């Protein structure tokens, strides 16, 4: 069966939301797929997104990458709650009160505020839990903590700022969690803690252009202990300059890809192909079509190649046209190379499971391989790369 059929069968059996990676793993374990391909996880995500968009009454997305059959998606509110919120709900209503009631929704709105107050020591002082007045506060004191594991990094930073400026191991961070009642780390694994800290670091650095944690292997330090505001600004300036140089490198490379004539461009692509295991490109009798092959064991797998040297993205119709040409060359495998990009519809069309297989190579892939193998690029003493103009002039 194909990817969507396998996914729907698995979701029918589990009767709950499931991440696309787990769906792919189950499909492979049960040997449900007729054809797996090079990147089954990516293919599974794409077909599930398409199915959810085309048939929303059949398939729903509960959160990014997670899918569930619509008939099993009756209590959407429950999927969006954290484990701590579910626990609070059980203590409050013993499971009898509906998750859709307004009173419970209003109650959950206060949880974030209570978490902040816990961090500030309002409810927990040293190892003694202070008595709370309101009904909801009394419930909070019973739970030990109402934060989720994703709240840990911010709370840890507050604790580390009061301590010695040094790196801390995962086991030391675990002890801090237990000592300061930040989080019940009984069932928390080292990999979980490391994962949420790294994710928090990545998200913060994208938003604020700075990393709250300095990370060295499995050692962590609060960067505020070592950095001043001025240094933050310098670091941000350096990062911006590096991104600017990377953009200029891609821009210069793209100019050369457009300038080369057809023969020069084919010689350039042949050099790239040699590095990724494909043979030199040869011209066919039909204009605009070429051939190459990949050696697999003692045999060779032939490919039909077409170039799209334009500034505009390749669209779905161009993929369909190319697919229709493959049988004329007695081939079921094709490669389209563009100096631009492929739009989303073109990617979906190329990934459809048919009797033909189409590989897409865009400008980003070419530049990545150029940088990786120093084709048309040279390393500078500073460690940066720049376009090798002499290479393109001598093609």
Residues 98-142 have pLDDT tens digits of: 444 444 444 444 544 444 444 444 333 333 334 444 544 444 444
55 and 89 part of one domain: no
Rounded CA-CA distance 157/148 in Å is 16
Is residue 8 a contact partner of residue 1, using CB atoms and an 8 Å limit?
no
The mean pLDDT of 18-23, rounded to a whole number, is: 90
264 and 360 part of one domain: yes
51 and 167 part of one domain: no
* Separation of CA 146 from chain center: 28
290 and 362 part of one domain: yes
Most confident region among 119-128, 230-239, 323-332, 352-361 by mean pLDDT: 323-332
Can you give the residue range of the structural domain that contains 92? 79-143
262 and 380 part of one domain: yes
**pLDDT higher than 50, residue 44:** yes
**Candidate from 223-227, 256-260, 324-328, 374-378 with smallest mean pLDDT:** 223-227
The verdict on residue 175 lying in a domain is: yes
pTM for this model (two decimals): 0.42
Last residue of a domain, which of 13, 42, 74?
Answer: 74
66 and 90 part of one domain: no
264 and 372 part of one domain: yes
What pLDDT does residue 124 have? 37
Who's near 328: CB < 8 A, 6+ residues apart?
Answer: 286
What pLDDT does residue 306 have? 93
Is residue 19 a contact partner of residue 65, using CB atoms and an 8 Å limit?
yes
The verdict on residue 111 lying in a domain is: yes
The one-character DSSP state at 70 is G
What pLDDT does residue 188 have? 76
What pLDDT does residue 23 have? 92
Who's near 310: CB < 8 A, 6+ residues apart?
Answer: 338, 339, 340
CA angle 191/21/23 to nearest 5° reads: 130
- Do strands 128-129 and 124-125 pair parallel, antiparallel, or not at all (unpaired)? antiparallel
Most confident region among 60-69, 300-309, 346-355 by mean pLDDT: 300-309
What pLDDT does residue 136 have? 47
Last residue of a domain, which of 51, 74, 97?
Answer: 74
The CATH number of whichever domain residue 181 belongs to comes to 1.10.10
Q: How many domains does the chain have?
A: 4
The verdict on residue 203 lying in a domain is: yes
263 and 341 part of one domain: yes
Match 């590096």 to its residue by tokens.
242
The verdict on residue 251 lying in a domain is: no
Last residue of a domain, which of 185, 203, 225?
Answer: 225
305 and 354 part of one domain: yes
83 and 127 part of one domain: yes
Residue 245, φ and ψ in degrees, nearest 5: -65, -40
269 and 380 part of one domain: yes
% of the chain surpassing 90 pLDDT? 11
**pLDDT higher than 80, residue 313:** yes
195 and 287 part of one domain: no
Residue 306, φ and ψ in degrees, nearest 5: -130, 140
The verdict on residue 230 lying in a domain is: no
What pLDDT does residue 242 have? 67
What pLDDT does residue 99 have? 41
What pLDDT does residue 379 have? 83
The verdict on residue 239 lying in a domain is: no
DSSP characters over 105-142 = HHHHHTHHHHHHHHHTTSSEETTEEPP--SHHHHHHHH
The mean pLDDT of 152-172, rounded to a whole number, is: 85
The verdict on residue 246 lying in a domain is: no
**Candidate from 68-77, 237-246, 340-349 with smallest mean pLDDT:** 68-77
| Structure tokens given for 157 | 């930073």
The CATH number of whichever domain residue 327 belongs to comes to 3.40.1350.10
Query: pLDDT by residue (tens digit) across 179-236?
Result: 766 666 667 788 888 888 988 888 888 777 778 888 887 888 888 776 655 555 555 6
The better pLDDT of the pair 342, 140 is held by 342
Query: pLDDT by residue (tens digit) across 268-289?
Result: 999 999 888 888 899 898 878 9
* 143 pLDDT tier (thresholds 50, 70, 90): very low
Match 């099993």 to its residue by tokens.
72
The verdict on residue 245 lying in a domain is: no
């Amino acid at each position: 069966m194909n990817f969507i059929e396998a996914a729907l069968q698995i979701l029918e059996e589990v009767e709950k939301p499931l991440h696309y990676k787990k769906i792919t793993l189950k499909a492979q374990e049960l040997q449900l797929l007729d054809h797996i391909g090079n990147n089954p996880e990516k293919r599974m995500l794409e077909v599930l997104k398409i199915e959810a968009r085309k048939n929303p009454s059949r398939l729903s997305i509960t959160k990014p990458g997670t899918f569930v059959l619509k008939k099993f998606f009756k209590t959407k509110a429950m999927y969006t709650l954290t484990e701590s919120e579910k626990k609070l709900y059980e203590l409050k209503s013993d499971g009898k009160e509906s998750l859709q009631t307004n009173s419970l929704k209003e109650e959950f709105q206060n949880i974030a505020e209570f978490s902040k107050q816990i961090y500030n020591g309002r409810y927990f002082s040293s190892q003694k839990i202070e008595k709370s007045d309101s009904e909801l506060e009394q419930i909070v004191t019973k739970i030990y903590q109402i934060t989720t594991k994703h709240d840990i990094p911010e709370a840890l930073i507050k604790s580390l700022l009061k301590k010695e400026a040094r790196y801390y191991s995962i086991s030391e961070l675990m002890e801090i969690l237990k000592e300061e009642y930040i989080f019940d780390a009984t069932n928390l694994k080292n990999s979980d803690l490391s994962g949420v800290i790294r994710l928090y670091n990545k998200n913060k650095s994208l938003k604020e252009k700075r990393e709250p944690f300095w990370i060295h292997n499995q050692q962590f330090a609060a960067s505020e202990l070592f950095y001043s505001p001025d240094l933050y600004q310098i670091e941000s300036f350096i990062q911006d300059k590096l991104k600017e140089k990377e953009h200029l490198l891609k821009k210069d490379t793209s100019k050369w890809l457009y300038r080369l004539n057809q023969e020069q461009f084919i010689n350039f692509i042949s050099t790239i192909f040699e590095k990724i295991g494909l043979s030199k490109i040869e011209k066919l009798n039909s204009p605009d079509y070429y051939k190459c092959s990949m050696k697999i064991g003692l045999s060779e797998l032939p490919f039909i190649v077409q170039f799209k040297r334009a500034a505009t993205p390749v669209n779905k119709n161009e993929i369909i046209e190319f697919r229709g040409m493959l049988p004329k060359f007695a081939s079921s495998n094709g490669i389209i190379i563009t100096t631009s990009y492929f739009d989303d519809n073109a990617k979906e069309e190329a990934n459809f499971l048919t009797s033909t297989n189409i590989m897409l190579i865009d400008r980003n892939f070419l530049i990545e391989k150029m940088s990786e193998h120093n084709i048309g690029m040279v390393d500078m003493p500073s460690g940066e790369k720049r376009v090798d103009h002499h290479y393109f002039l001598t093609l």
